[in-house]
Amino acid sequence: MARRLLRLTAKPHLSSSSYLILARLIAPATGFIFWSGAAQLYQAEAVGMASAIVSTGMLVSMLSGLGIAFSIVRFLPEAASPVRLINAAFAFLTISALIVSGVFLLGLPWWSPELRLLRQDGVYLSTFLGFVTASSLFTATEMVFLSRGQASYVLLQTVLTNGSRLILAVLFMQAGAIGLVGAVALSVLASVLVSFIILIPRLFPGYRFSPSLSGTKLRPIVAYSMGNYVSNVMTQLPHLLMPLLILEILGSEASGYAYITWMIAKVLAVPGIALSDSAFAEASHDPARLRPIMGKSVLLGQMLTLPAAFVLLIGAPWILSVFGAGYRLEATGLLRWLVLASPLMLIANIYFAYLRVQKQVIRLVLCSGLLAAAAIAGSAVFMPDMGITATGISWLVTNLGITLIAGINILAHRTS
C-alpha cells in the first residue's frame, strides 16, 4: 500500500495535493497556537474583541469573493492574456471587498452594535478594510498558484502568513485588541505583497500588479463565478447553521458537544478538499483527462481517509474523553456517524470539482442545494427523538445521495 501511495503521489496534481494538505493542516494548527498565545499575552477583553473582528472580517471576505477564485482556476489556462485576466480578477475582488465591507459597516448598528468602534476609530476602520481586501486577494493568489500547478507556493504563502502573525502579535502586545487585529491583517497583506512582487512574476515573467477591468470579457466569468459562489455558500450552510439549529432544539449543552465533535470530524475532510482543489486545477488545464484525474484523486483520497477514519471510528470514546466525560457519553454516536460519512464526503467534493471543470454550474448549484437542504431538514426533523446523533446520520445520508447522483451522472456521460 505504501508503494502504491508513493506512485500515486508522484503524479503532478496528486503531489500538489500533498502540499495543499500540509497547508490546510498548518493553518488551523498555527491558528490554535496564535490564539492560545494571545490569551497569555493580552487581556481577555482584547482577545475577545480581536477574535470577533477577525472572524467578522473573514466572513465579509468570503461573502465578497463572489466565486471569482473558482473562475481563476477554470478560465486562466484558456485565457488569451493570463496577466490581464489575473489583474481583472484582482480589481474585481478589491472593488467587491470594499463595497461589501462598506455595506457591513453601514449596518453595524443593527447587526453588531458591539463592533461600532470599527466605524468610530480610524485605525480600526482602515485595519478592517485592509484585512478584508487582503484576505480576498490572498485567496485569489492561492488560486493563481493552483492554476499553474504550484501548490508549493500555497504552502509557502501559508507558512509566511501564519509564521509572521505569531511574531507580530508579540511585537504589538502593548497595543491591545488593535495589536492582535493588526498582526493578523499585516501578515496577510505581507504574504499578498510577496506574491505580487516575487511569486506571481516567477509564474508569469514580466507580471506587474496593475488591477484593471478593461480588456477582459467578464460576462461568462461572472456568470460562472456566481454559480460557484451560490454552490459554495450552500455547502457551508450545514456547518454554519447546525450549531444554531442544535441550540434551538436541544439547548446549549448539546450544541457544545456537537460543535467539538464536528470540529474533530472535519480533519477527515482535509484530504478530500485538497485533492478536489488540485484535481480541479489540473483538469482545467487538460479537460480531456478529466475522468482519469478525478479517479486517481478518489483512490488516493480514500487511501488517506480510510485508515484515519478507522482509527477515529474505533477510538471515538477515548478521543472524546479528552474533552470530558460528557462528550464521551453524548457525542460518541455522532462522531462515528460523521466518520462513516467521510469517504462519501470525499467523493462529493471531487464530484463538485468534476462539475466545475465541465462548467455544469446549474447541476452544481442543485446538488449543493440538495446537500444543504437535506442535511438541515433531516437534522431538524429527527433531533427531538435522536439527539445530536441525528445530525451525523443526516450528513451520512445526504452525502450518500450525492455519491449516487455522481455515479449515475458519470456513467450516463460514459455511455452517451
Sequence-ordered list of residues with C-beta below 8 angstroms from that of 158, at least 6 positions apart, any chain: 23, 26, 27
Q: Count helices and strands (H / E) in the chain.
A: 18, 0
- Name the average pLDDT for the chain: 85
Q: What is the DSSP letter of 81?
A: S
Position of cell 501564519? 162
Q: What is the pTM of this model?
A: 0.75
Q: Which long-range contacts (CB under 8 A, 24 or more apart) does 58-63 make?
A: 58/135, 60/97, 60/100, 60/101, 60/104, 60/132, 61/97, 61/131, 61/132, 61/135, 61/136, 61/139, 63/100
Distance between CA atoms of 238 and 374, rounded to whole angstroms?
Answer: 9
Cβ-contact 285, 416 below 8 angstroms: no
Distance between CA atoms of 119 and 114, rounded to whole angstroms?
Answer: 11
Query: Does the pLDDT of residue 32 top 60, yes or no?
Result: yes
Burial letters 89-101, b for 16+ CB under 10 A, else e: bbbbbbebbeebb
Query: Does the pLDDT of residue 129 top 50, yes or no?
Result: yes
Cβ-contact 19, 155 below 8 angstroms: yes
**pLDDT tens track for 232-255:** 888 888 877 787 788 888 887 888
pLDDT at 322: 82
**pLDDT tens track for 80-119:** 788 888 888 898 899 999 999 999 898 888 877 777 888 8
Cβ-contact 170, 155 below 8 angstroms: no
Cell triple for 350: 471531487
pLDDT at 37: 82
- Give the other-Cβ count within 10 Å of 270's Cβ: 19
Distance between CA atoms of 206 and 401, rounded to whole angstroms?
Answer: 48
Query: Does the pLDDT of residue 363 top 50, yes or no?
Result: yes
pLDDT bracket for residue 404 (50, 70, 90)? very high
pLDDT at 148: 84
HSE value, Cβ hemisphere, 13 Å, CA-based, for 268: 28
Query: Does the pLDDT of residue 394 top 90, yes or no?
Result: yes
